[in-house]
């Protein structure tokens, strides 16, 4: 026989009050579960000046011209008191690395991958917030290859670091800025069959973590693109 339980009015009021307060306690959590921040996609076109410290402590100032609609990317790299190197990357996989000095060095390379797409940070792991270079940043990590810091207030990148130890501080971030077409032309000696000394060129480039980022050539970052 089922036993019937009668609650006195007093009991039922206190019961519904406690249910009510329990509901109120749960409500904020249910109504606004704090969403995990996601990185802003890269603008389709932008210009950035990057202050780069290679894993070997070599300092560089790099002009980064990212141009996704035209499937091209340009890194113009000034080594501290050293060579200025041009790293021109096309979406069809061809890259030209050259100087524009009297040495006329150029090296052409072919890759199986194109240019990194604007949403390449999709799926990155959120690590939380830290203060970086004086900016409060959200931080993500992607495939143990890159740690990416984005300004909470403006959603602009502030800094990134590669697993190699190479770091980049973002000094300017000009959305929509495009380099004029003629400046994307590799010099004529890149198209000559002459033998050039590329050893010096290679060593000046150092470990190519940065250009690997845009190219996505490292095996570990392959899954990014
Ligand atoms: C560059 O990085 C090295 C460590 O890899 C560090 O010792 C050095 O202080 C850095 N230089 C600058 C200017 O940040
Ligand atoms: C890729 O595009 C560039 C620029 O148009 C061109 O110079 C290069 O020859 C092309 N490479 C291939 C493999 O088609």
| pLDDT tens string 122-173 | 999 999 999 999 999 999 999 889 999 999 999 999 999 999 899 999 999 9
| pLDDT at site 110 | 86
Identify the nearest ligand to the CA of 109 by its number.
2
What does the pLDDT read at residue 33? 74
Buried/exposed code over 92-123 (b: 16+ C-beta within 10 A; e: otherwise): eeebbbbbeeeeebbbeeebeebbbbbebbee
What's the per-residue H, E or C state across 40-98? CCCCCEEEEEEEEECCCCCEEEEEEEEECCCCEEEEEEEECCCCEEEEEEECCCEEEEE
Please provide the average confidence, as pLDDT, over all residues in the chain.
82
Q: Cβ distance 175 to 46 under 8 Å?
A: yes
* Ligand 2 atom 5 nearest Cα: 90
Q: What are the strands of the beta sheet with 167-175, ordered from one edge?
A: 106-110, 94-98, 84-90, 72-79, 59-67, 45-53, 167-175, 157-162, 146-151, 135-142, 125-132
Cβ–ligand 1 distance for 123 under 6 Å, the answer no
165 lines ligand 1 (CB under 6 A): yes
The pTM (predicted TM-score) of the whole model is 0.79
pLDDT computed for residue 126 by the predictor: 98
* CA-derived radius of gyration, the chain: 26
pLDDT tens digits for 109-126? 888 888 999 999 999 999
Determine the structural domain holding residue 60 and report its residue range.
45-224
What atom of ligand 2 comes closest to residue 92's alpha carbon? 1
Counting atoms of ligand 1 from 1, which one is nearest the CA of 56?
A: 5
Confirm whether 137 is domain-assigned: yes
57 CB less than 6 Å from ligand 1? yes
Q: How many angstroms separate the alpha carbon of residue 1 from the centre of ligand 1?
A: 80
In a domain, 128, yes or no: yes
In short, whether 53's Cβ falls inside 6 Å of ligand 1 is yes
Alpha carbon distance 74, 62 (integer Å)? 10
Question: From the CA of 207, which ligand is nearest?
Answer: 1
- Determine, yes or no, domain membership for 56: yes
Sequential DSSP letters for 114-127? -PPPTTTTTTPEEE
**88 in a structural domain:** yes
Which ligand 1 atom is the nearest neighbour of the CA of 165?
5
Residue 3 lies in a domain: no
Does any domain span residue 152?
Answer: yes
Q: Residue 124: which residues within 8 A CB-CB, separation 6 or more? A: 38, 39, 140, 141, 142, 148
Residues of the chain with pLDDT under 70: 1-31, 193-225
From the list 216, 2, 29, 208, the residue with the least C-alpha distance to 113 is 216
Q: How many residues does the chain have?
A: 225
The total of structural domains in the chain comes to 1
pLDDT reported for residue 206: 45
Quick one: pLDDT at residue 183? 95
Q: Atom 7, ligand 2: which residue's CA is nearest? A: 94
CATH code of the domain containing 84: 2.50.20.10
Does 30 map to a domain? no
Query: Is residue 150, in this structure, part of any structural domain at all?
Result: yes
For CA atoms 214, 217, 221, 225, give the dihedral sign. positive
């Amino acid at each position: 026989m089922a036993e019937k339980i009668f609650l006195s009015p007093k009991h039922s009021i206190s019961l519904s009050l406690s249910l009510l307060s329990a509901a109120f306690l749960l409500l904020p959590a249910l109504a606004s579960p704090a969403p995990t921040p996601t990185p802003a996609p890269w603008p389709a076109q932008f210009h950035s000046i990057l202050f780069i410290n290679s894993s070997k402590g070599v300092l560089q100032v790099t002009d980064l011209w990212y141009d996704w609609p035209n499937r091209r990317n340009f890194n113009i790299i000034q080594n501290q008191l050293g060579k200025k190197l041009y790293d021109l990357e096309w979406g069809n996989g061809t890259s030209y690395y050259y100087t524009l000095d009297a040495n006329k060095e150029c090296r052409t390379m072919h890759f199986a991958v194109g240019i990194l797409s604007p949403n390449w940070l999709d799926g990155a792991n959120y690590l939380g917030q830290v203060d970086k270079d004086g900016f409060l940043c959200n931080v993500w990590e992607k495939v143990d290859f890159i740690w990416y810091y984005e300004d909470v207030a403006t959603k602009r990148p502030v800094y990134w670091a590669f697993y190699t130890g190479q770091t980049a501080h973002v000094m300017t971030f000009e959305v929509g800025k495009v380099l004029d077409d003629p400046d994307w032309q590799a010099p004529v000696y890149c198209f000559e069959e002459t033998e050039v000394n590329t050893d010096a060129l290679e060593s000046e480039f150092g470990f190519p973590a940065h250009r690997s980022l845009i190219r996505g050539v490292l095996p570990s970052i392959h899954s990014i693109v």
